[in-house]
Homo-oligomer: A and B are copies of this chain.
Amino acid sequence: MIKEMCNQAKEASQQLALAQTRQKNECLLAMADLIWEQRPAILNANQGDVQGAERAGLSPAMIDRLMLNESRLEGIAASLRDVAALPDPVGKVFDARELPNGLRLHKQRVPIGVLAVIYESRPNVTIEVTGLALKTGNAIILRGGSETIATNRALVAVIRAAMQQSGLPPEAVQFIDNPDRALVNELLKMHDTIGMLIPRGGNQLHQFCRENSTIPVITGGIGICHLFVDESANQDASLKVIQNAKVQRPTVCNALDTVLVHRGIAATFLPRLVERLKADNVTFRAHDNAMPYLKGFSAPLVQPAGSEDFDTEWLSLVLGVKVVDGLEEAIRHIAAHSTGHSDGILTENPDHANQFVARVDSAAVYVNASTRYTDGGQFGLGAEVAVSTQRLHARGPMALEELTTYKWVAQGDYSVRP
């Protein structure tokens, strides 16, 4: 069944790769309209999933993530219209050159072919990744969470109806309509047809895919993010940046996890930091070397960090703090504990800024800015399908171009290699 799905997707991808931008955009707009028109059916299916989740005793946070309503559907439809408005990377010619041997050579952007996405509860992902895949001429195989299977079934029906309506092959969107985990194992071996696997979920899912997939995997989405407050930093402004990075949306991967404070300002800065963020309900895990500066505060506001706290992605209003002797120690701490997602320095010292940028090897490295910027929308890419923290193909926010590859095209005059 999985093999047949993959073959169908592969065949449809060949047609989709040749689709004109206008036709793909019409399809995205039709999809947006149809989601809105079909909202009773979608919301009805979603209600079934929500009731199932309640019966299964899922947490209110989980249930909130899978729940749809009219306003969320409106947002989903709007995101499709946004994708339709973005430039189409497919067909773009680059690195053109004429070689001394007379060959005219260029690279040309083409779709990856077939993408597979394994994701968890949020049904908006179904529409968002499908929209990005279609825009870039890729077929897609979706494997969502079992708790949203009815919702996803309804959404995929709408997607395929819109494709049919626009003259694009509905087989380009395949949905694994069966929660059996054995099917995932089978899917992970389909490297003959699937060009890229994108897991969207926790660390365990990424690890499982990395270990079991023969398809190239884009791992990412796990962010243990750091800000180093250098001695020269503007302290008021730094507090504002840290607050934004920690508090604005603590449950996402680009939220701040650890603040490293230069010893020279620790006595003044650390107490101010705690005072500032306690109003936002942030609690602190302080390294032994930071505790002496925080004697005025007690648990649960400030407590000593445990042995694994600096290797924890908090995803909540907890913030690790540690004192460092300076730039060198900050960089070493980050090299040892960062997941390579987003790390930054707050400083007025341009030399320190340059050294930090050169030596911290994360997907996004910041000077005097919040880690929260790591996002396809914020970076001006218009969308994002994942944030890659691995090193091949793409790093950081993956948008349209990152869902393409290229081929070399060479035009000669019956040219032969000398």
Contact = CB atoms under 8 A, between A and B. Distances in A.
Interface of A: 14, 17-18, 97, 99-101, 103, 105, 108, 110, 112-113, 191, 195-196, 210-211, 214, 216-217, 234, 237-238, 240-241, 243-245, 248, 335, 346, 353, 357-359, 361-370, 372-375, 378-380, 390-393, 395-396, 405-417
A82 B413 CA distance: 29
When A and B form their complex, which 8 residue pairs have the shortest distance between CB atoms, in order from nearest? Answer: A369-B412, A237-B414, A244-B416, A372-B417, A369-B415, A393-B393, A364-B408, A195-B391
Q: Find the residue from A101, A346, A367, A406 having the highest chain B CB count within 10 A.
A: A367
Given A195-B392, A392-B196, A407-B362, A101 B417 contact: no
A265 to B, nearest CB: 15
Nearest to A105: B379
A241 B415 contact: yes
A365 B405 contact: no
Contacts of A240: 414, 416
A372 B363 CA distance: 37
Contacts of A372: 416-417
Given A368-B414, A405-B391, A415-B370, A18 B363 contact: no
Copies in the assembly, this chain: 2
9 contacts: A195-B390, A241-B416, A248-B416, A365-B408, A367-B409, A368-B415, A370-B412, A370-B416, A392-B393
B214 A373 contact: no
Contacts of A362: 407
Given A216-B390, A369-B414, A369-B415, 8 more contacts: A14-B361, A195-B391, A195-B392, A346-B414, A353-B411, A365-B408, A373-B410, A395-B407
B407 A365 contact: yes
